[in-house]
Amino acid sequence: MSLSKRICVSASVLMLFAGAASAGVPVAQADRLVRDLTPMGAERAGNADGSIPAWEGGLAGVPKNVSWMPGTGHYKNPFAEDQVLVTISNENAGTHEAFLTPGQRAMLATYPNYKLNVYPSRRSCALPEAVYEAVMKNAVTGSLGGNGDTLSGVLRGIPFPIPSSANEIVWNHNLRYRGYKVSRTFVSAAPTREGNFTPIKVQDDLVFDYSSPGIASINELNNTSFRYLQETISPARRAGQLLLVHETFDPAIGERRSWQYTTGRTDSSPRVQRTSAINYDTPQIYSDAMSTADSFDVFSGPLDRFDWTVAGRGERYIAYNSYELSSPAHKYADIIKPGHINQDLVRYEKHRVWIVEATLKPTQRHVYSRRTAYFDEDGYNMVAGELYDARGGLWRVQEAHLMQYYDVPACFNASDVVYDLVEGRYVVQNLKNEESGINFNASHLNDMMFVPEELRRRITRR
């Protein structure tokens, strides 16, 4: 659908709610989503010097300049001809200070060969028309209550395209569109300081219930935003480990529900255990204790242990259109290097971001006393972050590598990394270069696969 037709359709959706909005923003304000804002609430216009272009619909289909077949699981780079505009090192970082995050500045100062290759900015993010229409409805009917954890009047698209608080921005990230039924195989690795690593291969399946095309109200979801099933494939000592998670909207109604089975138990009968430990600052599986459960997907889970505030909006260099880093032409050994991943493979672009600060509540506990999060305006993906220890020192740096999956279409991180500045190490997750890629049409997934009994069935089949 052309941009002009999309504006007409979106305007029609808004007219349906004229005079009926009791929550969200007024229809007159939501009308900006078909005027000067994109359907996701970003600025349609570029910036003053042209280094950030106007949004013209993004890559909402397979680009004409790539030969690509559906079902391949990997995505060819439509911007392969782009050249590096500037390479930022510690020596010239001061010239680019205004567009660097503190985390990037720390990485440049810590590692002599760390750099950022900056390319032309491409606003490639695009979503299905049905999702845009849902976002339009959410804009005028959505509300956030309680302590920022109770959602109503929203479904399928980001809840708050014109956010009025930091909590709404973070909820946009947590509930952004990533398909409906998705299956993938990926690798995580936590290399030593010397760069040695053992790849942890995982098969996982996801049903994003919030994005279900058959649901008419968030109330039908039983406080469940998505269901996640993970099985470890290798190495042999970990093979067969299972994890099932039901993510919730409101922790006041019920906390995240999770079950796990761990191999190598010494008791006589293997057991699937219900656990509440896969949450908040519990060390993330396979991260070698360098990342927390709520840093999965850069950030996930409830917001209730922190006070969230908007620190502003600004232009930053962020990892974007990460087709080269995700290419099957590169082996994991090409990517995973001592200290940090291979920066020659990471593409940075200048984009506008929301900057959000989170401070630990006095009544709560967490290994992080403070965290800063950066959200891309075009898709509300969290693209970078800084994590601070109990004394307020910068401890860890997060980076997500965004990519437009143009056949879906959907825009989110293809991989992500957490750098531990104290350990001098890092963990990188969701690499799929040597795997079969990602399947956005996993229609074989059904409700019976996302219950504890499925874990028990898998155990007994071995």
pLDDT for 161-217, tens place per residue?
999 999 999 999 999 999 999 999 999 999 999 999 999 999 999 999 999 999 999
Cβ neighbours of 411 (radius 10 Å): 28
| Predicted local confidence at residue 271, as pLDDT | 82
Q: Are 252 and 146 in contact (CB under 8 A)?
A: yes
* CA–CA distance, 219 with 158 (Å, rounded to integer): 16
pLDDT for 416-436, tens place per residue?
999 999 999 999 999 999 999
> What pTM was estimated for this model as a whole?
0.94
* CA–CA distance, 445 with 227 (Å, rounded to integer): 11
> At 413, phi and psi to the nearest 5?
-70, 135
Q: Where are the alpha helices (DSSP H) in 24-69?
A: 27-30
**What is the end-to-end Cα distance of the chain in Å, rounded?**
49
Q: Which of 293, 264, 261, 265 is nearest to 274 (CA)?
A: 261
Domain residue limits, the chain: 3-201+249-256+283-454
- Cβ-based neighbours of 323, under 8 Å, separated by 6 or more: 75, 76, 77, 78, 79, 80, 347, 403
* CA–CA distance, 402 with 309 (Å, rounded to integer): 24
Q: Bridge-partner residues for 353, per DSSP? A: 314, 376
pLDDT for 331-373, tens place per residue?
999 999 999 999 999 999 999 999 999 999 999 999 999 999 9
> At 427, phi and psi to the nearest 5?
-125, 130
Q: Which of 434, 130, 421 is nearest to 290 (CA)?
A: 421
* CA–CA distance, 389 with 369 (Å, rounded to integer): 6
Q: Say which residue the tokens 């229609």 belong to.
A: 443
| Predicted local confidence at residue 1, as pLDDT | 52
* CA–CA distance, 243 with 250 (Å, rounded to integer): 21
Q: Are 378 and 42 in contact (CB under 8 A)?
A: yes
Peptide bond into 409 cis (omega under 30): yes
pLDDT for 45-68, tens place per residue?
999 999 999 999 999 999 999 987
* CA–CA distance, 320 with 410 (Å, rounded to integer): 14
Q: Is the pLDDT of residue 70 over 80?
A: no
